[in-house]
Amino acid sequence: MAEQKVWGLLAEFPSPQTIFTACESVRDEGYRHWDAHTPFPVHNLDKAMGVPASKVPWIVLAMALFGMTAGFTLQWWTTAVDYPVMIAGKPFVSWPAWVPVTFELTILFGAFGAVFGMFGLNRLPTLNHPVFNSDRFEAASDDKFFISIEARDPLYDAKKTKKLLQKLGATHVEEIAE
């Protein structure tokens, strides 16, 4: 049987407090390719991990502005350029009548930006992940807390990284294969 390639290490922690301090320490050590897995949100864990602010709000803003511009331009083009029809003496460019459609397209495209921006930035859908190969990882959705450090990280050294995780309070550390 061929030797499997090592993906990284998976460390199990008993409580939110221990994983919080462990995340701060892993971040301070300089690891870049790692993640924390918890059964519920742990307040400020993203800051402890050093995760930068999300880009999703900027994507939503850009898409909302695109939707607004598209809605306004579409109505201007159809009523003033492509098919101008004088109705009751109203001007061809009657922007107050265009507000509902412009507003709706702003909301629609902003929502698309939120959903697809989140999917893209989170690299979803991910149907399989190497940590799913661990039997202990099933407890990540129940009552256990995990940190996974990938072997592709420049600071990764199996023995040193395992020793660091144990020093930080991990109750169990295992090597994960791809």
**123-143: pLDDT as tens digits:** 999 889 999 999 999 999 999
In this structure, what are the phi and psi dihedrals at residue 78, rounded to the nearest 5 degrees?
A: -70, -35
In this structure, what are the phi and psi dihedrals at residue 38, rounded to the nearest 5 degrees?
A: -130, 155
| Tens-digit pLDDT profile for residues 36-60 | 999 999 999 999 999 999 999 999 9
Residue carrying the six token digits 């519920």:
40
Quick check: bond before 125 cis, omega within 30? yes
Tokens of 94: 């009657």
Q: Tell me the β-bridge partners of 35.
A: 148
So what's the pLDDT on residue 1? 46
Per CATH, which fold does 1-39+143-178 belong to?
Alpha-Beta Plaits (3.30.70)
Domain boundaries for CATH 3.30.70.1150 within the chain: 1-39+143-178
pTM: 0.80
Which of 84-88, 139-143, 170-174 ranks highest by mean pLDDT?
170-174
So what's the pLDDT on residue 2? 57
